[in-house]
């Protein structure tokens, strides 16, 4: 077995979850997933396809009608994008892996902005890349910010690929349009590809964009820029378990990417794609409701957390996480395990996302029942009070 694979970190989120798994008294906020089932009309579309016998292989790049619908959906948000720039993948993480296989030779330099979902930094290591990380910085109020000049300086002609996730999991940090413009300009100078994980774009709460979504690299790039944007049906359509994503790329990349899909998973199931098509067609009823509810979740959770003694956190402009630290607790993995076992609250340890996030905790606030969040905070409050005693 390859040393590079043996050396990959086990998920520290799973480590905490495993400690609490099967305990009925734990409120789980550790995974990046709503606890709400996929909307019924979406499920019904898959059921209909199965009953109609759509159980055969399909196009590598996705059903033509789904790619067409995705082009329409993406164009409505970000201006004209044709279906020839879109491929359907077996989940957002699969789209990221395909893009990396397309762009990274062993030994290439990859630069990632962290803290970030650990999959984004593991994939370059699987492919034998040299990984460099540039860390966001926490402010006294608990918000994380980018040192843009430091990032621009870190991008050099030897940087093959920049990996960036905004709105960011776990910090909620979100790139501004001006920052994206500066990054695109720098990458044009250096010949660096940008791999933008924008799966949280619709979960955006700032009300400062015309389309309501977070700023996207698609808004500030041309069709031939070295840019791949990864998207997923998981977040904006409550479809985590369906494993369906897509990517937007330069048209010249689509045909070779189809080869990589053939050699990785061949295609996504047709009945899953039929469900996705219905989700897209009903996005105007499905997604605004999800986003409004998540805003309510965030605006319930964050003030309660901020009112706890010694807690720093800031309302995330995007995503579905509160990222917080508590004075006096430096070891986030140990703290998360204590909170599971002693307080019955399941959070993800910050160190899972970057060494710089040690001491922090990620709380997924995508809870169908907002009272679960209140109840969780109350448990943490009581636990903290017991520690002081």
What minimum distance in Å lies between the beta carbon of 152 and a copy of itself? 24
| Residues whose CB is less than 8 angstroms from the CB of residue 301 and which lie 6 or more positions away in sequence, other chains included | 322, 363, 365, 373, 377
What minimum distance in Å lies between the beta carbon of 61 and a copy of itself? 11
Q: How many residues bind a copy of itself (CB under 8 A)?
A: 64
Interface with a copy of itself, residue 123, by CB under 8 A: yes
Count of CB atoms situated within 10 Å of the CB of 258: 17
Q: Is the dihedral of CA 212, 215, 219, 222 positive or negative?
A: negative
Instruction: Please tell me what DSSP assigns to residue 345.
Output: E
Q: Which of 27, 71, 102, 294 binds a copy of itself (CB under 8 A)?
A: 102
Both tokens of 294, joined, read 């998540």
Both tokens of 366, joined, read 């995508």
Both tokens of 211, joined, read 């389309």
| Residues whose CB is less than 8 angstroms from the CB of residue 267 and which lie 6 or more positions away in sequence, other chains included | 57, 58, 59, 60, 62, 261
Selection from 198, 195, 206, 283 nearest residue 239 by Cα: 283
Choose the binding region for a copy of itself from 62-70, 134-142, 250-258, 366-374 (rule: CB under 8 A). 250-258
Nearer to a copy of itself, 55 or 334 (CB): 55
Q: Where does the chain have alpha helices with state H?
A: 3-6, 12-20, 40-51, 64-78, 92-103, 118-126, 148-154, 177-190, 251-264, 270-281, 283-306, 332-338, 370-388
Interface with a copy of itself, residue 122, by CB under 8 A: yes
Rounded distance between C-alpha atoms, residue 232 and residue 244, angstroms: 6
* Binding residues among 277-306 for a copy of itself as defined by CB under 8 A: none
Q: Which of 26, 81, 183, 270 binds a copy of itself (CB under 8 A)?
A: 270
Count of CB atoms situated within 10 Å of the CB of 335: 22
Nearer to a copy of itself, 91 or 344 (CB): 91
Q: Which of 65, 263, 285, 387 binds a copy of itself (CB under 8 A)?
A: 263
The answer to whether 123 and 344 are in contact (CB under 8 A) is: no
Choose the binding region for a copy of itself from 92-100, 211-219, 336-344, 346-354 (rule: CB under 8 A). 92-100
What minimum distance in Å lies between the beta carbon of 268 and a copy of itself? 7
Q: Which of 23, 55, 157, 178 binds a copy of itself (CB under 8 A)?
A: 55
What minimum distance in Å lies between the beta carbon of 65 and a copy of itself? 15
- To the nearest 10°, report the CA torsion of 338, 340, 342, 345: 120
* Contact string (CB under 8 A) for a copy of itself, positions 9-28, x = contact: -xx-----------------
Choose the binding region for a copy of itself from 89-97, 338-346, 368-376, 378-386 (rule: CB under 8 A). 89-97
Is residue 167 reached through a cis peptide bond, with omega within 30 degrees of 0 on the bond before it? yes
Choose the binding region for a copy of itself from 54-62, 147-155, 202-210, 296-304 (rule: CB under 8 A). 54-62
Q: Which of 64, 79, 128, 191 binds a copy of itself (CB under 8 A)?
A: 128
What minimum distance in Å lies between the beta carbon of 193 and a copy of itself? 9
* Binding residues among 205-244 for a copy of itself as defined by CB under 8 A: 238-243
Binding site for a copy of itself (CB under 8 A): 1-2, 4-6, 8, 10-11, 31, 33, 37-38, 43, 46-47, 50-51, 53-58, 90-91, 93-94, 97, 101-107, 119, 122-123, 126-128, 238-243, 252-253, 255-256, 259-260, 262-272
């Amino acid at each position: 077995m390859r040393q590079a694979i043996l050396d990959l970190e086990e998920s520290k989120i799973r480590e905490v979850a495993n400690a609490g798994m099967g305990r009925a008294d734990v409120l789980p906020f550790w995974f990046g997933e709503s606890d709400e089932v996929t909307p019924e009309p979406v499920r019904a579309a898959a059921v209909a396809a199965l009953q109609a016998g759509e159980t055969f292989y399909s196009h590598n790049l996705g059903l033509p009608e789904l790619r067409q619908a995705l082009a329409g959906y993406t164009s409505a948000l970000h201006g004209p994008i044709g279906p020839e720039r879109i491929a359907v993948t077996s989940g957002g993480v699969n789209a990221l892996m395909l893009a990396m296989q397309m762009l990274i030779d062993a030994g290439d330099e990859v630069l990632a902005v962290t803290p970030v979902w650990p999959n984004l930094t593991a994939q370059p290591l699987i492919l034998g890349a040299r990984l460099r990380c540039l860390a966001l910085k926490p402010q006294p109020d608990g918000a994380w910010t980018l040192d843009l000049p430091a990032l621009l300086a870190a991008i050099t002609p030897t940087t093959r690929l920049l990996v960036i996730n905004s709105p960011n999991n776990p910090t909620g940090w979100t790139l501004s349009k001006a920052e994206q413009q500066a990054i695109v300009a720098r990458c044009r100078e250096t010949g660096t590809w940008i791999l933008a994980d924008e799966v949280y774009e619709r979960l955006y709460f700032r009300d400062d964009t015309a389309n309501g979504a977070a700023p996207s690299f698609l808004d500030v790039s041309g069709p031939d820029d070295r840019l791949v944007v990864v998207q997923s049906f998981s977040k904006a359509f409550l479809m985590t378990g369906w494993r369906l994503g897509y990517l937007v790329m330069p048209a010249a990349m689509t045909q070779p990417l189809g080869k990589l899909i053939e050699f990785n998973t061949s295609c996504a199931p047709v009945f899953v794609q039929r469900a996705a098509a219905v989700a897209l067609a009903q996005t105007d009823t499905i997604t605004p409701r999800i986003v409004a509810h998540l805003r309510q979740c965030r605006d319930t959770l964050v003030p309660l957390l901020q009112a706890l003694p010694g807690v720093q956190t800031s309302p995330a402009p995007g995503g579905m996480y509160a990222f917080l630290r508590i004075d006096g607790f430096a070891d986030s993995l140990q703290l998360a395990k204590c909170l599971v076992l002693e307080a019955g609250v399941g959070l993800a340890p910050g160190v899972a996302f970057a060494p710089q996030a040690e001491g922090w905790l990620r709380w997924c606030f995508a809870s169908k029942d907002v009272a679960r969040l209140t109840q969780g905070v109350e448990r943490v409050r009581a636990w903290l009070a017991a520690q002081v005693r």
